[in-house]
Each structure stands twice: as structure tokens, then as C-alpha cells.
Amino acid sequence: MNAFPKSLEEAIAQAKQATRAALDDGYQRLQVEFVIPEIALKAQAIAGEFLPLFEDYGSGLKVIFPDTGAAALACRDWGEVPFKVTDLGSRLTSVDRNVSDEDRIFLLVSPSAVEVAQVEKLCNLAGDRPVVLLIPQLEDVSIVGIGYAARQLRDRFISTLESSYYFKPLDGAAVMRSYPSSWQVWLENGDEYEIISEQPQKPIGEALERILTGNTDTPDGAATADASKAKKMGLFGNMRSFLRALSQ
């Protein structure tokens, strides 16, 4: 049973453990998702926390940032490292140049919906080598995109990504997944959080609303009337404290 993270450090530790387990089980297209406002501002710092996870890959690790500025900043801050740091490419520089035979695993840091085509191409070029998307900003593409092109993208690419770790705060609740566990909905209960539902797929939209309003069963089969008592929350109990942590 997962524990609800009480700090950003705990969440990162959970995410690293879950991602390692998913890689060991052979998953090749992974997402580590903290669906939190302003989290992209900490992308480089969080990527640094994940680097020890890939030590066994040595120079076969390639860390890729969305643009040249972010990649250059990481190179400056990290100094001499045994792996490669580069950018995803642009309209004028194809992502093809960032994939070589020596690469064994790719860590793609905070790609946005703008880069989704390049992210898909990178995954295709990687073949059977793992690609880990760290705090990707692709959720809007997968959920709110409409039309034939958006459906194709979801079916062709977004649906192939496995969430090794997912955390999204709601009003008095949170949606969480830590591989290999199922998707969980947690509800605020005083100073603690308790699981009110476990699902095989990510609960979104009306399905999530039914869980939070008590129109579904808890894992032990009991109705969850308390779910309708959800109060405003922030990440780890208070969003303001988390945002303060981002500014440190």
C-alpha cells in the first residue's frame, strides 16, 4: 500500500522507486508526472534528483531538455558529467541528431504540448531503448484535445506512455499512481489523507467526479459518503507551502 507523500522529497523518492521498478519490468515509455502549477520551474532540480537512478547506464544516458537554453543551463550547473546533455531540437534542427547508437536510455525533461511531435519522433527513433518523460506538460493534449488529429495522437502515441508515477492535487483530494500500484483517489480527512477508490485506469472527468461525490464504492465495497466533504487543499496539505518551497 502506498503512503501519501508529506513532502516534495517524499514524492520524488516514491517516483524514483516506482520508475526503477517499471524499468526493471521492461517498460520503455514512462512518464513521471507531478501535475502541479509552477512545477516546471523546478525541472532541472528534479532531473538532478533522478540522475542517480541511471548511474548503471553511464555514458549511455542522454538527458534532453526542450530547448538549447535549458540544456546549456544544466550543463553549466552540473559541470562535468559522464553522460550527454542536449536539447530536443527545433523547427530548424531535427531531433534525429540527438539519437546515436551509443545511447542506451533517454531522460526527457519537462517537454510541453508544443514539443509533442518531437517527443513522439524521439520515442520512435529510440526503438527498444527506454525513454523517461520527467514532469511532461502533455496532460492537456491527452485530455482536452479534440478532433481527428487529437484522437490520432492519443491513440498513436499518448496511449503508449505508462505513468510510473503520477500525482495531481484536487480540492480536498488527490489522484495518485505509483507503479506497480493501481490508480488511487485520496481524500483529505483532517490532517491525513485516506484512499477512497482504486481504479485500473486513470480516473478523469465524470468518473472522478462520481468518486469524489460518493457515487461509487471504496476498495472494501463501502459507500464513501464522506467524499462529498472535500475541502480546499494544496499539495502536501497546503498549496501555499508548496509554492513557497518552489521559490527556495
Sorted by where each starts, the structural domains of the chain and their CATH numbers stand as 8-18+27-166 (3.40.50), 171-232 (no CATH)
Structure confidence by residue, pLDDT tens digits, 27-70: 999 999 999 888 999 999 999 999 999 999 999 999 999 999 99
How far apart are alpha carbons 147 and 228 in whole angstroms?
Answer: 34
Residue 115 identity:
E
Structure confidence by residue, pLDDT tens digits, 171-214: 889 999 999 999 999 999 888 899 999 999 999 889 999 998 87
pLDDT band at 222 (very low <50, low <70, confident <90, very high): very low
The helix (run of H) or strand (run of E) holding residue 108 is: strand 105-109
Sheet holding 162-169, edge to edge: 84-87, 61-65, 105-109, 131-134, 29-34, 162-169, 173-178, 183-189, 192-199
How far apart are alpha carbons 223 and 2 in whole angstroms?
Answer: 21
Can you say whether residue 190 is alpha, beta or left, with left for phi > 0 and alpha for psi between -120 and 50 degrees? left
